Structure 1
Amino acid sequence: MNKSMIFISLILILFSSGICTREGEEETDLYKKVFTNLSEVQENGVKIKYTSNKPINEELKKILKNYNENFLEAKLKKENDVVYYNDNIEKDDKRIKILASDEGQGTNIEIEMIQNTKHINIYNMKKELGKLVDDTSLKPQYFSYVKGKLKTEKQISDVNTMLKEKLIENGAIKFNSIPINSGITGVASNNKNLKLNYSISEYSGGKYLILGTPIIFTTY
């Protein structure tokens, strides 16, 4: 499989109904090739979104059962009789956020998992969230990002050029970047308009890179 096809396969994974072992390994491999060359890994993030045809109470019980984390139950809250959520739950160096809304004909679920780590652990985190998907889960979507501090002292514009070169090596052929207050944000895509997002930002503590597929769901 050539580099262009690897890049296409990665993005198709994230829009499919699931992630198999081989595909998940390819995604982690791309993160390593592109990200670790430029940055020291500090944070991984994974999110899953899906719709369940179960009532909201049943779906939340399923989530708790799959995780075997009864401590979550006491922290679940309810707003306006339709929304349950919890935030800033920490377990095994991971932070977990759950949002579930009752849509009448089903339940919309979003679960975010954030881990502070020096390693790229996206594959294992997706496997953990994937335990929640069963035959009642409709249209599951996965999102992920890796965040870290840049190793280089080069200007952000130079880092942007270096990043583009690494992405081209791995199959990207189209780019669009715009300046933001803290630096640059951009999108890399192939000829099918499938996207990989990135941001390069500078703060008082240094310069940072975030790489996310298919979008970045954290602030930058």
Structure 2
Amino acid sequence: MKKVFFVFLLIFSLLIIGGKEYKCESKEDSFSKIEGYVINNYDFVQNGIKLEYTVDEKLCKEYLRIKQFFEENNFLVLSTENNNITAENENIDYSINICEYNDLIKVQVILINNDVSKSEEELKKLSQKIRNDNFINERYFSFIKGKLNTQDKNLIDDLEKNLNIKVNEYLDINNGCVAEATFEDNQHINIGQIKYDTGSYLIIGTPIIFVTY
């Protein structure tokens, strides 16, 4: 119960810190800078991307189109129920959710990867292969997670100095901290640090972190 409460608190803090709303599409140059720094200075754990798009299509047709895409490309389809599809391919976990949205269909495509050789840009291209060619609009969210290799490093100071970001909001939480920051171009990022028995972990998302950890 305590762990569940902490996860809720963490995500709640990340989403509302500062009481602000954010543009929900990350800028490639900003995230490439984050990605390179985390990989070079921390032990890579995981990265991921979420694509959301809308399309003027029947829900059942879009669902069957994506399911067929997975089957034709030899994905390991794990589940297909309640307008959700989960699958695996080349050590990447895929999660699809489809729902009705203002007379349109909204599709959420999430890719989670544990291979340090696969960049956020590669994951973005893979997500676009699933996207309907007739999409109306789209937006992307990205994150990267790393393990700190030293407990002496001041995480926030380290990120401010080396990524040239400005931390606008900071909050200590159980077993860690969360922060909201901006780059010089006003691109928003969220930062989380959490300590487990296995070590201390850093996660950065643009503009928000869309996964629990």
SS state at 2:93 partner: strand
2:163 equivalent to 1:164? no
Output the amino acid matched with 1:166: N
Q: For residues 135-154 of structure 1, what are the alpha-carbon distances to aligned partners after superposition, in whole Å with 9 as ceiling and x for unaligned?
A: 52122111111111112221
Structure 2 partner of 1:60: 63
Structure 2 partner of 1:198: 191
Structure 1 partner of 2:105: 107
CA 1:162–1:138 in structure 2 vs 1: closer, same or farther (change >3 Å)? same
In the alignment, which of 25, 30, 47 is matched to residue 15 of structure 1? 25
Cα root mean square deviation, aligned: 2.7
Structure 2 partner of 1:121: 119
**TM-score between both structures, scaled by the size of structure 1:** 0.75
Structure 1 partner of 2:79: 75
Output the amino acid matched with 1:129: S
Structure 1 partner of 2:129: 131
Would you say the 8 A contact 1:187–1:195 is kept in 2? yes
Q: For residues 3-40 of structure 1, what are the alpha-carbon distances to aligned partners after superposition, in whole Å with 9 as ceiling and x for unaligned?
A: xxxxxxxx98x638xxxxxx74x356312443134311
SS state at 1:35 partner: helix
Gaps (5+ residues) in structure 2?
A: 1-21
**TM-score between both structures, scaled by the size of structure 2:** 0.77
Q: Distance in 2 between matches of 1:71 and 1:35?
A: 30
Output the amino acid matched with 1:167: L
2:207 equivalent to 1:214? yes
Gaps (5+ residues) in structure 1?
A: 1-10, 17-22, 79-83
Would you say the 8 A contact 1:120–1:146 is kept in 2? no
Q: Distance in 1 between matches of 2:155 and 2:192?
A: 11
Percent identity between the aligned chains? 26
